[in-house]
Structure 1
Amino acid sequence: MKIARYLKQNRGQAVVETALVMPILILLLFGILEFGQVINQYIVLTAAAREGARTAAVSDDTAARTAVTDAVANISNNGLSVTITYQDGRRVQGKSVTVTVKKPIEVNTPVIRDIIESAFAPDPAVIAGRSVMRVEQP
């Protein structure tokens, strides 16, 4: 009899503890998921920069930009910028070409998006991928 009375008295405490801890756990879970998505965007941008640098090394800038755009097809390319620069300012065989791909971070969870926007307030947080290769054909 005493055990049943004891359990009834502590039931409200468990509900209050759950109500206090649950929002923190949910925010932590969504933070982990969003971090994974940002890392995925970074990996895709780095691969796209590598693809663009390889294409720029053997072809022209237009083909390199097309290669980058095709490489980022599985993520949103809103705000995507592609910069292609050559070592001496012009395309010379044996010199390097650098392709930089930048894009603002996209976060889907509203609370985390608000935290990121307030932390990086007038400028949005940007992720970038960069690759350097040697020009093979002039």
Structure 2
Amino acid sequence: MVNNNRDHGASAVEFALVAPLLIALLLGILAFGHAFHVQSVLSNAARDAVRVVSLANATHETDAHSAARQTAITSAQPSVSLKNDHINITPDACGAADNLTSETATVTITYPLELLGGIGNITLTGKGTMRCNG
């Protein structure tokens, strides 16, 4: 078999052409996996918080809302650093005497997520809904 000197280094050139594509694919998979994890955490935190709001028998809704906010923040840690302004709780009258079980409580968490490498931002949303008073 004759060894052709022109083929020396061909595999290195081919690898140099394919390596950026493989690295970009790997980083994309990691970014998607991270975003999927954060989305799951937000959904679970919203579900935990809406349970607190809908089952609260507080006379003041601010007590139930602040307990729900704290529950959501605790449920999301350490994966996500939630703040009070990320959490929206409706309605204002859930648990009041004039509000029977016909209404539903909703907790919506919106979280801005910076993608890996700082190439952009996306906003992820977790939402939980439950009938008032159980």
TM-score normalised per structure 2 = 0.82
Residue matched to 1:121: none
Letter in 2 for 1:83: N
CA distance in 1, matches of 2:87, 2:100: 22
Runs of 4+ in structure 1 off by over 4 angstroms are: none
Contact residue 38 and residue 80 of structure 2 kept, 8 A: no
TM-score normalised per structure 1 = 0.79
Among 91, 94, 101, the residue aligned to 2:109: 101
Residue matched to 1:71: 75
Contact residue 93 and residue 134 of structure 1 kept, 8 A: no
Where 1:43 maps in the other structure, the secondary structure is helix
Residue matched to 2:60: none
CA distance in 2, matches of 1:93, 1:78: 31
Among 7, 12, 15, the residue aligned to 1:10: 7
Query: Any residues of structure 2 matched to 1:1-138 within 5 Å, and which?
Result: 2=2, 5-6=3-4, 8-59=5-56, 60-77=64-81, 81-86=86-91, 89-91=92-94, 92-94=99-101, 95-108=103-116, 110=117, 113-114=118-119, 117=120, 124-136=121-133
State the superposition RMSD in angstroms. Answer: 1.8
Letter in 2 for 1:104: P
Where 2:114 maps in the other structure, the secondary structure is coil
* Unaligned 5+ runs, structure 1: 118-123
Pairs aligned (count): 121
CA distance in 2, matches of 1:76, 1:25: 29
Q: What percent identity do the matched residue pairs reach?
A: 30
